[in-house]
Amino acid sequence: MERRTIGAAALEVGAIGLGCMPMSWGYTASQRSGEGSLGALHAALDRGCSLLDTADMYGPFTNELLVGRALKARRQDAFVSTKCGLLAGDQHIVANGRPGYIKRACDASLRRLQTDRIDLYQLHRADPEVPIEETWGAMAELVAAGKVRSLGLCAVGARAVRPPRAARTELRAAGVRGRPRSRMHDGTLRQLERVQQVFPVSSVQAELSVWSPEALEELLPWCESRGVGFLAAMPLGNGYLTGTLTPGQGFEPEDIRARHPRFTAEMMAANQPVVAGLRRVGARHGATPGQVALAWVLAQGRHVVPIPGTKKERWAAQNAKAADLALTQEDLREIAVLPPARGSWY
């Protein structure tokens, strides 16, 4: 598989990674233990998908334990990325960015992952009660101690302020120069500028997909201009862009899509033209809609690494093949004019 470079530390990873969250958190109670997902982990590593993305809160803790089992015999094949800074309880998720906690969390992650180093340690969310420079400084000390090789930040933002794609197209057609400014990632950009003064940022993780392209506005250019890697989370739109979900199908109560505005029967039906467009492009290449969606993300820059999540060996293998799909300019133009996704995201 093609290799790509992650940020300031110049660490190489496979062009497509593996999001491990669905193996034990967020989608189905039956996967709490992660049993049955080891095959997906090994299938990804076998095909060069070296970046394994996990977090201590997934489970909580069980996801790291599962990844640790896979790493035990093949640590040299993997680039391990995990996260700190969030605590998951029965009812609430809270941030904790206190330096002492961050250091203890790192030691606990190392034990669960059965490794002596974390290749990429990401701050899951900033703690509003702790200056982010203090949290980041503690993480930088972990690099100095040899426990961590590089640092990353996960991005969040408010989508509602971003003008719809149709409005931007109309403005360009009218001769308006530039893009309407999005404030979706303003908070994240400010955080990034602050922590860069403390220790170099190697990567930013944020959502990016055909039906959620907001990061293209400012966040992706910020990363590219500074040599920072971009980890594209949810590049398959929580599975919707694979074309395997049926409008109106039910989801288990613990599945995050059961409460997701874009996964109502009405919105799933309304967004079928997006999948249909990906299917048309895929037909020219003998590829699935999901592979086209991943290839589109790869085409957004050499510093971009999509991390599609799955718990099944079959899908991990299929996702890996997207690295071999080179979309043409015609393909990219066709995807660019697909109708914008309908339904609020959060």
Among 234, 312, 311, 290, CA closest to 22: 311
Q: How far apart are CA 206 and CA 220, in angstroms?
A: 9
Give me the helix-helix angle, 272-285 and 329-336, nearest 10°: 170
User: Angle at CA 100, nearest 5°, toward 97 and 104?
Assistant: 100
Burial of 178 (0-12, 13-18, 19+ CB in 10 A): exposed
CA 142 to chain centre: 23
Do the beta carbons of residue 132 and residue 194 sit within 8 Å?
yes
DSSP 262: G
Residue 53 and residue 51: Cα distance in Å, rounded? 6
Instruction: Give the tokens for residue 270.
Output: 């309304």
The span from the CA of 343 to the CA of 230, in Å, is 26
| Tens-binned pLDDT, residue by residue, of the chain (346 aa) | 999 998 877 899 999 999 999 998 877 665 555 667 999 999 999 999 999 999 999 999 999 999 999 999 899 999 999 999 999 876 688 999 999 999 999 999 999 999 999 999 999 999 999 999 999 999 999 999 999 999 999 986 433 333 344 434 433 443 333 333 445 577 899 999 999 999 999 999 999 999 999 999 999 999 999 999 999 999 999 999 999 999 988 898 888 899 899 999 999 999 999 999 999 999 999 999 999 999 999 999 999 999 999 999 999 999 999 999 999 999 999 999 999 999 886 6
3-state secondary structure of 30: helix
DSSP 263: G
Can you tell me the distance from the alpha carbon of 9 to that of 74, in angstroms, rounded to the nearest whole number? 22
Residues designated catalytic: 58
3-336 CATH pick, 3.30.499.10, 3.30.479.30, 3.20.20.100, 3.20.20.30:
3.20.20.100
- The closest alpha carbon to 331, from 288, 294, 260, 281, belongs to 281
Contact 228, 303 (CB under 8 A): yes
Residue 308: how many other CB atoms lie within 10 Å:
32
Sign for the CA dihedral angle at 30, 306, 14, 185 comes to negative
Integer distance in angstroms from the first to the last C-alpha of the chain? 34
Q: Are 163 and 214 in contact (CB under 8 A)?
A: no
The SS3 assignment for 12 reads: strand
Alpha helices (runs of H) in the chain, residue ranges in sequence order? 38-46, 62-71, 99-113, 132-144, 165-173, 186-196, 219-226, 265-270, 272-285, 289-298, 313-320, 329-336
Cβ proximity of 306 and 17 under 8 Å: yes
